[in-house]
Amino acid sequence: MHEFGHTLGLMHEHQHPEASIPWDKEKTYALYRQNFGWSKAEVDKNVLPLTRDANRTYAPYDRHSVMHYKVSNTYTVGDWEQAENSHISAADIASVRRIYP
């Protein structure tokens, strides 16, 4: 479902500028390097928050989006975590409807 969301034009929700996920960047870089062989640049591009872009339109942050990666409190500061979302959310549906009226 996540990859299909990309096909429809949806972006990673965990990278939403308003997500406010308290990432422990060094642990996140180490995790993705160890598990997937990703460089810091790949983690920055696919995992960590993106800066707000004036050329993009943003819906409110949706923690329940199928486009949100699972986030373990192992690589966040404090006790912040997010389970994997395997179903599309109401906000995902609304976003796709905006893209394809």
pLDDT at 95 over 90: yes
Q: In the beta sheet, which residues pair with residue 82?
A: 71
Q: What string of H, E and C letters represents the secondary structure of the chain?
A: CHHHHHHHCCCCHHHCCCCCCCECHHHHHHHHHHHHCCCHHHHHHHCCCCCCCCCCCCCCCCCCCCCCCCECHHHECCCCCECCCCCCCHHHHHHHHHHCC
pLDDT at 29 over 90: yes
Average pLDDT on 82-99 reads: 95
The domain in which residue 37 lies consists of 2-59+66-99
- List, for residues 33-89, the tens digit of each pLDDT value: 999 999 999 999 999 999 999 998 889 999 999 999 999 999 999 999 999 999 999
Domain count, the chain: 1
Average pLDDT on 17-37 reads: 96
What pLDDT, on the 0 to 100 scale, is given for residue 56? Answer: 86
